[in-house]
Structure 1
Amino acid sequence: MKTEPFKICTTCSKHWETLEDFLADPELELSGYQVYFEDLKGGLFYFTHLHENCFTTLAIPVKAFTGLSNRPMLASRSDKPVCCPDLCVRKNELDPCPVECECIWVREIMQIIRDRKIQA
């Protein structure tokens, strides 16, 4: 039985069979994050496919990357912390956040992805 690939590029049709293949591809760059506060796993990571003549943006739900972090998700907050720098609502802001809130789990996954790209 053939399994579905992890992701297929919507422009050039390149296949990445697994998450590991996807993360190891030097032609992919994490380019953004769209938060979904009601369910953080429902947010989207945006990747740019830097392949010649492609340059499409791929949107992949955060839930596809949950296995990358051992950090437990924190309980959702009822109010935004006073010291919150609003990094989660800035799509292209990928740096770590200094505030310990439920979104820190997603920010950690972004750093893991970025670190793997540097090592690849």
Structure 2
Amino acid sequence: MESLLFKSCPKCFKRWSSRDDFLSDDLISLIGYQASFDQLENGLFLFTHRTSECLTTLAVCVSEFLDLFSGARCPETKALTRECPRFCLDESNLEPCNNPCQCAFVRDIMQVIHSRRSVSPAALSRDDSLQSSLLDW
């Protein structure tokens, strides 16, 4: 029987069998977004696998998360216009965009991902020890 696989880490080979497993892992953090203006669903969410041994960035296609968006998508784009705050051009900017733009739904999905995360005390202490190890590095 073949096991299901949502994503695997190319460095440490950690495997997540489902998107829920991936998103509920305290050692996974959404850190960015690479836009694909031609095909928004092909943009990439960037996650870091935050273990002191790994720290690998994993890219997951926006299309894997489309069902997390329940609103209406705006048919017109404001990308690169005067009204555009250019959040989508800054990979590390995870802020929501309030512009009526067809790109904004991706940023809404990022907010859903953040809201689904629950930070446990154990995760916070691991973050502190990870920060310490990174500072020593």
**Shared topology, TM-score over 0.5?**
yes
More RCO (CA 8 Å, sep 6+): 1
Q: List alignment gaps of at least 5 residues for structure 1.
A: none
Q: 1:3 to 1:66 in 2, by over 3 A?
A: farther
Per-residue deviation at 1:82?
2.4
Q: 1:79 to 1:50 in 2, by over 3 A?
A: closer
In the other structure, the counterpart of 1:49 is 49
The percent of aligned pairs where both chains have the same amino acid is 38
Provide the rounded CA distance (Å) in 1 between the counterparts of 2:100 and 2:3.
38
The 3-state SS of whatever aligns with 2:10 is coil
Q: CA RMSD in A?
A: 1.8
Residue 65 of structure 2 aligns with an amino acid whose one-letter code is F
Between structures 1 and 2, the one with greater helix share: 2
Matched, 1:91 2:102: no
Normalising by the residue count of structure 2, what TM-score does the alignment of the two structures yield? 0.80
Normalising by the residue count of structure 1, what TM-score does the alignment of the two structures yield? 0.90
Per-residue deviation at 1:25?
0.4
Higher Rg of the two aligned structures:
2
Per-residue deviation at 1:109?
0.3
Q: Is the 8 A contact 2:4 2:18 kept in 1?
A: no
Per-residue deviation at 1:65?
0.7
Q: 1:79 to 1:22 in 2, by over 3 A?
A: closer
Q: Is the 8 A contact 2:79 2:103 kept in 1?
A: no
Residue 49 of structure 1 aligns with an amino acid whose one-letter code is H
The 3-state SS of whatever aligns with 2:117 is helix
Per-residue deviation at 1:95?
0.8
Per-residue deviation at 1:97?
1.0
In the other structure, the counterpart of 2:117 is 117
